[in-house]
Amino acid sequence: MSRARWLAVIVGILLALGLVAWLIDAVYRLYAGVSLASPLLGNLLLALLLVLLALLIAGVVYYGFLFGRPKRQRPRPRVPVQRSAAAKDSLEAVRQQATRIQDEVARQALLERSRELESTFARREFRLVVFGTGSAGKTSIVNAVLGRMVGQVGAPMGTTIIGETYPFRFKGLDREIHITDTPGILEAGIVGTEREQLARQLAAEADLLLFVIDNDLRQSEWTTLRSLVQIGKRSIVVFNKIDLYPEADLQILLDRLQDRLHPLIPSEDLVAVAANPQAITLESGETLRPDPEIIPLLRRMVMILRSEGEDLIADNLLFQAQQLGEAARELIDAERLKQAEKVVERFQWIGAGVVSAMPIPVVDILAAAAVNAQMVVEIGRVYDCEMNIERGKELAVSLTKTLISLGLVRGATEIFAIAMQTNVATFVIGRAVHGATAAYLTRIAGKSFIEYFRQDQNWGDGGITEVVQEQFRLNQRDEFMKVFVKQAIDRVVQPLQEREEGDRSS
């Protein structure tokens, strides 16, 4: 403390002490005067003064405690705990899932991504992604936000062809910000589609999205924006190139936009800017390039970063982790499906062989069910669900009963009778039709069981009937049936004919 301050403090204390002495003296005189007139009134006055003194002391102690408390440190940027813990759990689950993925490349890619995400938990920059239609002015916005030319700007669509990221900081914000410029969406051609995919992927990784438009919102822009907001992407809609509109037209346009965006985007998140205003030619012939009008966007960005920044990062990390979990599940499901379909493919022809080898040409339900029971066990194994053959048989029988009650056995027999009558010798036609029918029904059963195991041993809301009907419908398409009949002739009819011809000649 400076000497002048010390002096001021000492003078202040002396003054306060003088005042207190004067006050005590004045109070004492008052008390003496009143007690002389009435001792009771004097005592009451004394009690009142004591209460006032006690209140004063209590007040000083209370406020002294409040002010004397050590100042709270400005919190370090820290991702909200609950969501970050949930994201970590999700990543742990992904690593567990990865052990079940057989494709080495896919497994490694998944693990690498989960490690990448994990490392971002420690310290992470804020990700801002500039996204929108080609030529709306995304690169111009990045340049204006950074206050320097970093990306090439051009009138034709497709000037930016890869995602480019630039780090920067806002005064007073602890986190570094990474702003990413993306290629435009809705550009024609295969190259355009590929770039759009990249842009969408970058947008999905954003903590905050700047969705740039330069005119009324097109339907395709609206749909894209809606889907991004619906997956939880916090977005600012940036209306660029306002220098091109007269004031009155601009206001009408903005009002209309606001109506259209409501309630997806609150009005304060629709921001109008001119990131790279057109040069103006003066009467003198001189050209003047106006400064960018970007302040409203900077202001809104800072406000969001201050009030929601940490939440947005936490939400995004959790979202990314869940997306990765979803990707892992899809990979596992696709691999299992492939394996399970191989099992069905194998059993359908085994079933066909059993039935067609029978002396009496009928679709023997029990024979088919016995084959199906083993199939159920094997499909279950693919889905990590061990079950014994008895349980497999129960399931197979109940499915076979459903096939009969739905009239599918008869229906399939008729379909194959018609399909085979022209190209199968008459002496084997009965058994051929029933063999093909058995193969077909085994296939329907197998596909239905795959659905059952995919849904954690559950037939779903519509029960077994709906699953079987759906599989019957899916496996009835013309192109599939043509291939199936051809396979049936190769695998069932030909061996039958060869055997019959062999029997006859011997």
276 makes contact with ligand GTP (CB under 6 A)? yes
CB atoms under 10 Å from CB of 14, counted, come to 10
Smallest gap from residue 270 Cβ to ligand GTP (A): 16
Out of Mg ion, ligand GTP, none, what residue 487 binds, judged by CB under 5 to 8 A for its kind, is none
Residue type, 452: Y
CB atoms under 10 Å from CB of 431, counted, come to 22
Residue placing its CB nearer to ligand GTP in the complex, 275 or 352: 275
Which range of residues in 19-27, 30-38, 130-138, 362-370 is near ligand GTP by CB under 6 A? 130-138
Smallest gap from residue 239 Cβ to ligand GTP (A): 10
Burial of 291 (0-12, 13-18, 19+ CB in 10 A): exposed
Binding mask 153-192 for ligand GTP (x = CB under 6 A): xxx-xxxx----------------------xx--------
Residue placing its CB nearer to ligand GTP in the complex, 102 or 152: 152
CB atoms under 10 Å from CB of 388, counted, come to 10
277 makes contact with ligand GTP (CB under 6 A)? yes
Q: Judged by CB under 5 A, which of 159, 339, 476, 494 binds Mg ion?
A: 159
298 makes contact with ligand GTP (CB under 6 A)? no
Smallest gap from residue 303 Cβ to ligand GTP (A): 22
Smallest gap from residue 142 Cβ to ligand GTP (A): 8
Out of ligand GTP, Mg ion, none, what residue 48 binds, judged by CB under 5 to 8 A for its kind, is none
Smallest gap from residue 142 Cβ to Mg ion (A): 8
Alpha helices in 72-216 (DSSP H): 81-98, 104-122, 138-146, 189-204
165 makes contact with Mg ion (CB under 5 A)? no
Residue placing its CB nearer to Mg ion in the complex, 150 or 264: 150
Alpha carbons 478 and 484: distance in angstroms, whole number = 10
Smallest gap from residue 188 Cβ to ligand GTP (A): 13
Q: Report cis status (omega within 30 of 0) of the bond before 167.
A: no
Binding mask 42-81 for ligand GTP (x = CB under 6 A): ----------------------------------------
Question: Is-contact 242 275, C-beta < 8 A?
Answer: no
Q: Judged by CB under 6 A, which of 240, 348, 356, 402 binds ligand GTP?
A: 240
3-state secondary structure (DSSP) of residue 12: helix
Cα 230 to Cα 235, 256, 263, 321, 396, distances in angstroms: 11, 22, 12, 17, 42
Smallest gap from residue 304 Cβ to Mg ion (A): 23
3-state secondary structure (DSSP) of residue 180: strand
Residue placing its CB nearer to Mg ion in the complex, 164 or 293: 164
Size of the site for ligand GTP (CB under 6 A): 25
442 makes contact with Mg ion (CB under 5 A)? no
> Which DSSP string do the residues of 195-213 spell out, in sequence order?
HHHHHHHHHHT-SEEEEEE
Alpha carbons 369 and 360: distance in angstroms, whole number = 17
296 makes contact with ligand GTP (CB under 6 A)? no
Question: Is-contact 235 269, C-beta < 8 A?
Answer: yes
Any idea what DSSP says for residue 269?
Answer: G
139 makes contact with Mg ion (CB under 5 A)? yes
> Which DSSP string do the residues of 471-495 spell out, in sequence order?
HHHHTT-HHHHHHHHHHHIIIIIHH
Alpha carbons 120 and 124: distance in angstroms, whole number = 5
Residue placing its CB nearer to ligand GTP in the complex, 241 or 431: 241
- Tell me the β-bridge partners of 210: 130, 236
Residue placing its CB nearer to ligand GTP in the complex, 276 or 442: 276
Q: What residue ranges bind Mg ion (CB under 5 A)?
A: 138-139, 159-160
Q: Which residues bind ligand GTP (CB under 6 A)?
A: 134-140, 153-155, 157-160, 183-184, 240-241, 243-244, 274-278
